[in-house]
């Protein structure tokens, strides 16, 4: 059994971004709320050049806060935009292609995992993290109990870090308890009425509370 001495940290997964200026403002709000390890940037449709420009606009502000910017896009868009890595849902073939292009110079994360063996295949392919619970292509979300089970199973056994995707604020606490290395707050966190700074602070408080309980044992 593998133990993980590193504490759980927070990630954000943006909605598809077309307006980089507006997103830059929201990300600054988020980072003011406390510790964030990485931001997974999803890009709205557009030509390659416009997508690269959006990544460039956001890479500087994010990275200046010591936060990694991981892009759900091709390796080319990520590298030319100055991102720290890519988030892929294309299976082992996509991972192999990205590894060939990026070598070991950037983060490669895997999502869109439907079954345990999918995750194990990605781990064997050498990804830097696997994500459980993110919305499916049709927008539906896996049941929270299934995500809790999957994240807890992975965190207990495997060395490759896992990300547990929180579908709402109420799920943050239960997902922190799985021991997952990262908790991801998704597109819902960027809703206009959402206090993103406060949400990040709340999530970090839940992480700190679990760490305190563990150290007290």
pLDDT of residue 6: 66
Split at pLDDT 50, 70, 90, the class of 4 is very low
pLDDT of residue 5: 52
Residues 88, 92, 98, 104, CA torsion sign = positive
Confirm whether 4 is domain-assigned: no
1 pLDDT more than 60: no
CA distances from 210 to 22, 35, 137, 156, 189 (A): 34, 15, 32, 16, 22
Residues 156, 157, 159, 164, CA torsion sign = negative
Question: What whole-number distance in Å separates Cα of residue 58 and Cα of residue 56?
Answer: 5
What pLDDT digit, counting tens, does each position of 176-198 carry? Answer: 999 999 999 999 999 999 999 99
Task: Read off the pTM.
Answer: 0.93
What value does the mean pLDDT take over residues 141-148? 95
What pLDDT digit, counting tens, does each position of 37-85 carry? Answer: 999 999 999 999 999 999 999 999 999 999 999 999 999 999 999 999 9
Q: How many domains does the chain have?
A: 1
pLDDT of residue 25: 95
| pLDDT more than 70, % of the chain | 97
What CATH number has the domain bearing residue 16? 3.20.20.70
Pairing of strands 129-132, 68-72: unpaired
Crossing angle of helices 48-64/20-32, nearest 10°?
20
Confirm whether 1 is domain-assigned: no
Least confident segment among 8-12, 87-91, 172-176, 211-215: 211-215
Domain residue limits at 150: 9-216
Question: What whole-number distance in Å separates Cα of residue 155 and Cα of residue 4?
Answer: 8
Confirm whether 3 is domain-assigned: no
- Centre a 10 Å sphere on the Cβ of residue 63 and count the other Cβ atoms it contains: 15
- Output the CA torsion 69→70→72→75 (10° steps): 110
CA angle 99, 97, 15 (to 5 degrees): 85
Alpha helices in the chain (DSSP H): 20-32, 48-64, 75-81, 91-102, 116-124, 144-157, 172-176, 196-216
Confirm whether 47 is domain-assigned: yes
Most confident of 88-92, 104-108, 126-130: 126-130
Confirm whether 2 is domain-assigned: no
pLDDT of residue 3: 42
């Amino acid at each position: 059994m593998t133990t993980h001495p590193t504490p759980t940290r927070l990630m954000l997964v943006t909605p598809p971004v077309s307006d980089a200026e507006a997103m830059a403002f929201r990300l600054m709000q988020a980072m003011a709320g406390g510790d964030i390890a990485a931001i997974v940037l999803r890009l709205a449709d557009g030509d390659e050049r416009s997508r690269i420009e959006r990544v460039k606009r956001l890479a500087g502000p994010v990275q200046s806060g010591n936060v990694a910017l991981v892009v759900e896009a091709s390796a080319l868009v990520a590298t030319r935009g100055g991102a720290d890595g890519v988030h892929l849902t294309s299976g082992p073939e996509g991972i192999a292609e990205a590894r060939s292009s990026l070598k070991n110079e950037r983060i490669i994360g895997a999502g869109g995992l439907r079954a345990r063996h999918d995750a194990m295949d990605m781990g064997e392919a050498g990804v830097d993290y696997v994500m459980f619970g993110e919305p499916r292509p049709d927008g539906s979300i896996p049941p929270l109990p299934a995500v809790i089970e999957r994240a807890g199973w992975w965190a207990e056994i495997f060395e490759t870090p896992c990300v547990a995707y929180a579908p709402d604020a109420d799920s943050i606490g239960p997902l922190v308890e799985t021991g997952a290395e990262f908790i991801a707050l998704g597109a819902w966190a960027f809703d206009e009425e959402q206090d993103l700074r406060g949400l990040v602070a709340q999530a970090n408080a839940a992480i700190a509370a679990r760490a305190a309980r563990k150290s007290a044992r």
